[in-house]
Structure 1
Amino acid sequence: MQFCNFEFMKNFLFLAVTFLLLSACSSKKSLVSKSFDKQLSSSFYKNQFTGVLVIDAETKDTIYTNNSDKYFIPASNTKIFTLFAALKTLPAQIPAIKYIKTNDILYFEGTADPSFLHPYLKDSTALNFLQNQSNLVFVANNFQDEKYGPGWAWDDYQWYYSAEKSALPIHGNVVMTYKNPKLIVSPPYFKDSVLEMTHTNNRNETSNRFYYPPTKKDTLETPFITSDQTTRSILENLLSKKVGIASTMPSGEKGTLYGSNADSLYVRMMHESDNFIAEQLLLVASGVLTDTLNGKLTRDYILENELKDLKQEPRWVDGSGLSRYNLFTPQNMVSVLDQLYSLVSQERLFSIFPAGGLSGTLKNRFAGDEKPYVFAKSGSLSNNYCLSGYLIANSGKVLIFSFMNNHFKQSTSEERNRLEQMLQTLRDTY
């Protein structure tokens, strides 16, 4: 009889604790829902389109949803998909170049590695390797993509965030110009192509003629027009030796030279929202998958294999999010963020994402009281602002969220302020 009473009390206590936990969880969800519903029904959101999804990273329970199955222009939230693609396909060290040596001639081709003498990453692995070779021939037939992504604005050609894609990018495919105290130009090949004068544009639309205002004090980063001949000329200038060009690689097994640490590229892409690195990573991945440099090959592979179970099929047209043709749902974003959370350790993952109040594009936003509580990727185009990532609640629970806002005419600053209020509600309530 005592045993039966003991078992009864044990089961009773278990059910009571479970009930209390479920009630507490339900109460927290209710508080979040009431707060979010009130915010999103205000006049501020009346003439814009907003989608939200928040889930518990451990239990996968939905905490809040609103229009989460609807399509939005994601802007740089697209880089979350690019990060996932890179982590699924690329090794820890990025392939720098591929090569075949025959009859004392080194034939080499680009892998689309964006870190080659990149102005901030400064990887010189490939340069050092090529300097130690006597006879060089550059082969460029593996690039089977367009220089720009579909839907990119044509008049962005002169701005650093719209650099051209290429097989063997050098210096991030931009010209860096600054005074120290004389005019400094990098890559030095373009030194005679920069005119120190005031002009309406930073560069001619159809030629590599650049302009630097005499009164300018800071560094100007301007994309240059890429071509096989330009790549060869820059290499010859850097190496102080002749470089030939061939249409095809000789037969044989290619060697691969590995360069920069992949995470250094991922951090730069996510923290600084670097469009060029995002685009090139899709090309690097396609070269690993197929030996051909084409971003669509990577996107198709990821959607058809790694992300075939997404509830809504996204329209994914570039790596950076520059294109307004991209269409993703909050459910798409949260699904990929959830997979990333399982794929990568939390410490590593949160170091790749910008931390609120601490790093990257979130350095001046979403700050915690004592330490960061938001680790997320922002995305902004005119009239659009999205934020998707991870939130650490006061309870210690990790939440995965996606807030997507399109077609607003208010200031982006006010949009962020209201979003921050909702994130704080999540942090303090859950």
Structure 2
Amino acid sequence: MVNYRKYISSVAVLASGFFLAQSTVSTVLYSQAYDNQRSTLNLPSPITSVAEKTILSAKELVDINVNTMMTDPVLKNASWGFVVYDPKTKKVISSYNENTPLVPASTTKLLTTETALNILGENYRWMTQLEYSGTIDENGILNGNLYLVGSGDPSLGTNKAGAWSYRDIISDFMSGLSREGIKKVNGDIIIQTALFKGNIAVLPENVVWLENNNYYLPVGTTREINPANEKLIVKKSGFASDKKYFYVSPYVKQMVYAEKYDGDGSLTTKLPDAPAYLANTLRTTLVKSGIGVSGKVTPKMTDAAPESRKLVAAYKSPTLGDIVFYTNQHSDNSLAEALLKTVGFQKMGDQTSESGRMVVTNHLKDESFDMIGLNYMDGSGLSRSNNVTPISQVKFLTSLMDEKYYKTYFTSLPVGGQSGTLKRMFIGTGNGQVFAKTGTLNKVKTLAGYLKTNSGKTLVFSLMVNNYSGSVDMVKKRMEKILEPALDL
């Protein structure tokens, strides 16, 4: 219970309209003032006068706002949890439902990107190489094959995080061929990468429906260069054993029909070989430039005893640190899923989502992550089967403050009022002081990261809201309202 200061008159006490409220947060004085017409967003006003602000501590204001939100029309029927934590004292400052598993949406990327930094290192790069086999005669004819050797670069050709465009990569490869004196290719262009094996992909049980009755594959589930553009056409009513389902690939221009329907909301199919687009573009460019190619573009598994080859040109991706920055700033789903598969390959030699999930969860266990309530289903947070507790997120983020890559990780987070997916939140109070990953699904809004208080302290917080009423803008305003007093802690 808050102790009233002796300078407050009984009139002021009555005017404040406080009453005692009990909840999972500390018992505090609770404001009954509730002005639902204060703004177009119907934001509640638990603090109604300057006098009240002067007699309450920042912690009390946080608790009051949390208590107020319990009866707020937008949140009262929602499942939500909150915790703000002091990493110095290792104490919870304020919390509500901190041990409740909730759908984290894209704050799942906090786990994925940290695991990648831990396992691969912030300076890790993917290589895409152009090589050739055979010999070049005096007329510049290559009697052999060109090899496009990839390593699963998630940014290849996307212009993301400083990555080159396909055009720039092809131009560099063409320059390499010119240096070698190759004027004609008497052979094939072979796509070869150890990372992309003949895996089977299973669609998730909880499919993500968008528009036009189309089901868009969770990004990263295909082996295409740009899996975000892959989609699966199905009936909105769900799967049926007498229907045909198929992938439409914009790059290889082919349909791949499902091979198996399991009857339980999932189907399996072999996925297209990658990276077909880059290889086909290379062949087209060669031919247009007058360099004939007698063979075709074809995928080939890595040989146990490969023929001798010579390097023509090599393209390096941006660093992992750059890719993590882009992933978290823009909440890029395809990059997050690719990172998941990359850590799976590095640790288990198998670039599947299943291996990636296993690697991430094993890493979290090794780092003493609070696994109670955790359900890690994908790298991006698209799956509604993902679950995590607010307290687990906060303790995880706190533990990272001692890691050597913490600065890279911290700077990858959007900044309130300034950058990334937080640019339009905390435009006033909290501008430049909130560093956090956002998450958004239908009726899910989440936020987790760090606060820089007015006194210079760093606090860690998690705020997740599931199944709210009203618009997402209403929820965002309430999230700001809960967090703003914490800046004075």
| Distance of aligned partners of 1:149 and 1:112 in 2 relative to their CA distance in 1, 3 Å threshold | farther
* Aligned pair partner of 2:225 in 154, 169, 188: 169
User: Match of 1:115?
Assistant: 155
- Tell me the alpha carbon deviations over residues 62-100 of structure 1, each in whole angstroms, 9 at most, x when there is no partner: 111211111111111111111111111223132234899
| Distance of aligned partners of 1:384 and 1:376 in 2 relative to their CA distance in 1, 3 Å threshold | same
1:36 aligns with 2:66: yes
| Distance of aligned partners of 1:43 and 1:344 in 2 relative to their CA distance in 1, 3 Å threshold | farther
1:51 aligns with 2:81: yes
1:246 aligns with 2:300: yes
How far the C-alpha of 1:45 sits from its partner, in A, is 2.4
- Tell me the alpha carbon deviations over residues 342-390 of structure 1, each in whole angstroms, 9 at most, x when there is no partner: 2256653332000000011111111355950101111111111111111
1:235 aligns with 2:265: no
The one-letter code matched in structure 1 to 2:155 is S
How far the C-alpha of 1:316 sits from its partner, in A, is 0.7
- Kept in 2, the 8 Å contact 1:390–1:401? The answer is yes
How far the C-alpha of 1:418 sits from its partner, in A, is 1.0
The 1-side partners of 2:480 and 2:59 are apart by 18
**SS, match of residue 421 in structure 1:** helix
The 1-side partners of 2:83 and 2:430 are apart by 26
The 2-side partners of 1:209 and 1:118 are apart by 15
- Tell me the alpha carbon deviations over residues 174-208 of structure 1, each in whole angstroms, 9 at most, x when there is no partner: 49xxxxxxxxxxxxxxxxxxxxxxxxxxxx97545
- Kept in 1, the 8 Å contact 2:209–2:216? The answer is no
- Kept in 1, the 8 Å contact 2:223–2:273? The answer is no
* Aligned pair partner of 1:286 in 339, 344, 366: 344
User: Match of 1:299?
Assistant: 357
The one-letter code matched in structure 2 to 1:238 is L
- The share of aligned pairs that are identical, in percent, is 25
User: Match of 1:16?
Assistant: none
The 2-side partners of 1:90 and 1:414 are apart by 39
1:322 aligns with 2:374: no
- Kept in 2, the 8 Å contact 1:143–1:166? The answer is no
Greater alpha carbon shift after TM alignment, 393-402 vs 232-241: 232-241
* Aligned pair partner of 1:86 in 116, 121, 128: 116
The one-letter code matched in structure 2 to 1:139 is Q
- Kept in 2, the 8 Å contact 1:71–1:329? The answer is yes
The one-letter code matched in structure 2 to 1:273 is S
- Kept in 2, the 8 Å contact 1:318–1:326? The answer is yes
How far the C-alpha of 1:325 sits from its partner, in A, is 1.0
How far the C-alpha of 1:265 sits from its partner, in A, is 1.4
The 2-side partners of 1:307 and 1:99 are apart by 40
The 1-side partners of 2:125 and 2:204 are apart by 23
The 2-side partners of 1:128 and 1:79 are apart by 34
* Aligned pair partner of 2:475 in 404, 409, 415: 415
User: Match of 2:408?
Assistant: 348
- Kept in 1, the 8 Å contact 2:376–2:386? The answer is yes
1:426 aligns with 2:486: yes
- TM (norm. structure 1) is 0.72
How far the C-alpha of 1:395 sits from its partner, in A, is 1.1
* Residues 172-211 of structure 1: pairs in structure 2 closer than 5 A: 174=229, 207=248
User: Match of 2:266?
Assistant: none
Instruction: Please tell me the root mean square deviation across aligned C-alpha atoms, in Å.
Output: 3.7
**SS, match of residue 125 in structure 2:** strand
How far the C-alpha of 1:295 sits from its partner, in A, is 2.4
What stretches of structure 2 of length at least 5 have no aligned partner? 1-55, 135-143, 178-184, 231-244, 252-268, 287-292
Higher normalized helix content (fraction of residues): 1
**SS, match of residue 281 in structure 2:** helix
| Distance of aligned partners of 1:368 and 1:57 in 2 relative to their CA distance in 1, 3 Å threshold | farther
- Kept in 2, the 8 Å contact 1:143–1:294? The answer is no
Greater alpha carbon shift after TM alignment, 348-357 vs 144-153: 144-153
1:270 aligns with 2:328: yes
Query: Larger Rg: 1 or 2?
Result: 2
| Distance of aligned partners of 1:400 and 1:290 in 2 relative to their CA distance in 1, 3 Å threshold | same
The 2-side partners of 1:83 and 1:422 are apart by 27
1:142 aligns with 2:186: no
What stretches of structure 1 of length at least 5 have no aligned partner? 1-25, 176-203, 211-224
1:380 aligns with 2:440: yes
- Kept in 2, the 8 Å contact 1:56–1:399? The answer is yes
Pairs aligned (count): 361
- Tell me the alpha carbon deviations over residues 21-57 of structure 1, each in whole angstroms, 9 at most, x when there is no partner: xxxxx96544433442233344442211111111113
Relative contact order (C-alpha < 8 Å, sep 6+): which is higher?
Answer: 1
The 2-side partners of 1:245 and 1:273 are apart by 31
How far the C-alpha of 1:270 sits from its partner, in A, is 1.0
The 2-side partners of 1:71 and 1:107 are apart by 48
TM superposition outliers: structure 1 runs of 4+ over 6 Å: 98-102, 156-161, 252-257
- Kept in 1, the 8 Å contact 2:112–2:360? The answer is no
**SS, match of residue 425 in structure 1:** helix
The one-letter code matched in structure 1 to 2:439 is G
- Kept in 2, the 8 Å contact 1:36–1:422? The answer is yes
* Aligned pair partner of 2:106 in 59, 65, 76: 76
How far the C-alpha of 1:285 sits from its partner, in A, is 1.7
* Aligned pair partner of 2:319 in 261, 277, 289: 261
- Kept in 2, the 8 Å contact 1:96–1:257? The answer is yes
User: Match of 2:93?
Assistant: 63
- TM (norm. structure 2) is 0.64
How far the C-alpha of 1:123 sits from its partner, in A, is 2.6
**SS, match of residue 403 in structure 1:** strand
- Kept in 2, the 8 Å contact 1:270–1:353? The answer is yes
User: Match of 1:7?
Assistant: none
The 2-side partners of 1:206 and 1:325 are apart by 23
